[in-house]
Structure 1
Amino acid sequence: MIKKYLIERRSWIILFLCLQLFTIFVTYVDSSIPISSIVYIIFLSFIIFTIFLIIRYNKETRFIRSLEERENDFDLTSIAHPESPFEQIFETSIANQTELLKQVSSQNLVALEQEKDELLSWIHEVKTPLTAMQLIIERLDDENMRRQLTYEWLRIHFLLDQQLHQKRIHFIENDLYIEKTDLQEVIFQEIKSLQSWCIQKGIGFDVDLETTEILTDTKWLAFIIRQILTNAVKYSESADIIIRSYEKHKQTVLQVKDFGRGIDNKDLSRIFEKGFTSTTQHTDNAATGMGLYLAKKAAKPLLINIDVHSEVKVGTTFLLTFPQKNEFINITGICLLCLYYTRLNGISITYI
């Protein structure tokens, strides 16, 4: 401690010594000054300076010494009593709370899984009477009534389908099955499901597919195209929807172009957000704001890039760019990692 203190004050000590040496030097040079008297004064100065250092040392290091003593006392107490009663109570309380939170989290997870399974089961059960309703509607003689009922039936069917995929999309990696897919077959199947609605609105399709074979998951691709075509039909009136496919930079591009009301530029960056409908058509109660959000989310693990170009009162163009074949190594890695994780945790998964 003393050594540290002297080192910290060395500049002042050196200054004092230099002043004393300077005084001796002046006395030596000037013979009129008695050297004995100067030596005596320097000696007294040294004594006073030493006393001053001792007093300042005690005063300036008192607080530091008290901290060191407390630290030593604390160390000794810790060795004698590794855990005080307060520490034991605190650790026990934390452990109990952690265990309680784990139990509550586990119960909530089980409840959510049960709720999801019940909802999926209910959706599948509702699809049965919906199919029966479709057959009944097709047998109606009144053409106008049949079209109106078909439109309402389609709305219910698409909302249920959207809800079903919304619950499944969180586990999409477990449900992927990458295979060679006929793009034309998928598109025509989705157009067929919209046929009665398109006839009612006077909407046709101009389909020209240069590239028809792609590698993807057929079921989820159909869902993505369904959301885009549904929006195109919903917001168009008496106009053809143009569907094109071509190859660009060794990647297949699918173009879906409509001539509907279009999307405002300020909304383009938000159309894939969950629940977003529109700022210009905010009174549109038919929009749910979930279709494009789910389509974008489903496209991500499939490595499908979705671009949108639109102009108000002119139309909207969706561009789906499919990945190259070698890019599916990433998807395979994700699926294998997911499979390893689920097996490690004892979860059983059925691949469809």
Structure 2
Amino acid sequence: MIKKFLIERMSWIIFFIVLQFFIIFIGFMDSTLPVLSLLYIVFLSSIGFILFLIVRYQKETNFYRRLEDWEPLDDVSPIPNSSSPLEAIVEKNLTEQTEHYKREMSQNITHVEQEKDDLLSWIHEIKTPLTAMQLMMERVEQEDLKSQLQYEWLRVHLLLDQQLHQKRMPFLNHDLYIERTNLESVIFQEIKGLKTWCMQRKIGFDVSLHVTHILTDAKWFSFILRQLITNAVKYSEASDIDIESYTKKGLTTLSIRDYGRGIDPRDLQRIFDKGFTSTRHHNDSASTGMGLYLTKKVAESLKIKIEVQSKRDEGTTFTLTFPKKNAFVDITSM
């Protein structure tokens, strides 16, 4: 702050130094003026000027120091009170702009909340005709047509489910309920939901669970599984998907391995980025680039470590490592 103050008042300092040199110059030019007396005056005035700068530094920087620590949208720390007419102008403008932005932010939050509620309501409403369509498809006699309809119905269902969870994401920490969850039940429920699609792509599952129960939020963990299994099915064909749970270094681990097209090495660091699809299959319209992004966000909230290993044309393995019991203290205390 001292350096900034000196730079701000540099014109004063330069003017004072030039003035002192001018006085000394006059003393040398005019022999009637005692030079020693003039030097004494310059010395005293320099001391006075330094004391003046010290006083002004304390007075002028006090307002700006408080201004540096001020949080514009924090009601707990109000705008610093001014102590001069110029500081009063700054305070007045800051107050008016802050109030304006607070009003705008409040309006935007209300608008976003309304849009979210409308979308969630629409998603819940659209589930009714989707259920009716599912029942109607059961009456279709042509197996090829029935299979295609069920596949497209499943795509719509999964996209709606993804959108629903995406809108709930900002409130995820308030929606968690950590409980002892039956891993087998959750996995087979998700596999059952993809049964038609798996049959169409001739995909089977090899499930080996050495650990049968975990501590997690069943609803949000199901969402993670749904995204990972859906990806495995989407990018595989005529092969099995291996799902295995085991204990590693005292931690429960779940791996989901497919033998599909794999992930390009240059994409591995970006697959969890929002909106990222693929550089190798950039025109893949079936991918939204949101599934793995949301999966990562949910996993972080559940304290689940998610890792991925993949080789091109050999398949991909996602590994979920669950935290120890005491890691949920932070979640349950929210």
Specify the TM-score bucket, using the shorter chain as the normaliser.
Answer: 0.7 to 0.9
**1:310 match: secondary structure:** strand
Correspondence 1:208 to 2:183: no
Partner Cα distance (2:329, 2:83) in 1: 54
Q: Deviations over 1:247-295 (max 9, x none)?
A: 1122211111100000111111111111111111111111111101101
- 5 Å matches for 1:60-209? 88=88, 90-209=90-209
Residue equivalent to 2:15:
none
Segments of 5+ residues of structure 2 without an aligned counterpart are 1-30, 59-81
- 5 Å matches for 1:182-261? 182-261=182-261
Residue equivalent to 2:37:
54
Partner Cα distance (2:194, 2:320) in 1: 20
- Higher Rg: 1
Correspondence 1:299 to 2:299: yes
Partner Cα distance (2:54, 2:192) in 1: 82
Segments of 5+ residues of structure 1 without an aligned counterpart are 1-47, 76-81, 336-352
* Distance of aligned partners of 1:91 and 1:186 in 2 relative to their CA distance in 1, 3 Å threshold: same
- 5 Å matches for 1:267-282? 267-282=267-282
Q: Deviations over 1:126-158 (max 9, x none)?
A: 111111111111211010001111111111111
Quote the offset at 1:62 in angstroms. 5.5
* Distance of aligned partners of 1:117 and 1:65 in 2 relative to their CA distance in 1, 3 Å threshold: same
Partner Cα distance (2:201, 2:208) in 1: 22
Q: Which segment is superposed worse, 96-105 or 154-163? A: 96-105
**1:300 match: secondary structure:** helix
Quote the offset at 1:90 in angstroms. 4.9
Quote the offset at 1:103 in angstroms. 1.4
Residue equivalent to 2:288:
288
Partner Cα distance (1:302, 1:121) in 2: 26
Partner Cα distance (1:253, 1:66) in 2: 72
* Distance of aligned partners of 1:109 and 1:56 in 2 relative to their CA distance in 1, 3 Å threshold: same
* Distance of aligned partners of 1:70 and 1:170 in 2 relative to their CA distance in 1, 3 Å threshold: closer
Quote the offset at 1:102 in angstroms. 1.5
Partner Cα distance (1:226, 1:83) in 2: 61
Question: Between Structure 1 and Structure 2, how many residues are aligned?
Answer: 279
Residue equivalent to 2:68:
none
**1:176 match: secondary structure:** coil
* Distance of aligned partners of 1:83 and 1:59 in 2 relative to their CA distance in 1, 3 Å threshold: closer
Quote the offset at 1:69 in angstroms. 7.7
Quote the offset at 1:308 in angstroms. 0.5
Quote the offset at 1:181 in angstroms. 0.6
Partner Cα distance (1:253, 1:226) in 2: 17
* Distance of aligned partners of 1:54 and 1:110 in 2 relative to their CA distance in 1, 3 Å threshold: same
* Distance of aligned partners of 1:285 and 1:55 in 2 relative to their CA distance in 1, 3 Å threshold: same
With structure 2 as the length reference, what TM-score do the two structures score? 0.77
Quote the offset at 1:203 in angstroms. 0.7
Amino-acid identity (%) = 56
**1:140 match: secondary structure:** coil
Q: Deviations over 1:190-209 (max 9, x none)?
A: 00110000111111111111
Higher relative contact order (CA 8 A, sep 6+): 1
Quote the offset at 1:95 in angstroms. 2.3
Amino acid at match of 2:157: H
Q: CA RMSD in A?
A: 2.6
Quote the offset at 1:88 in angstroms. 4.9
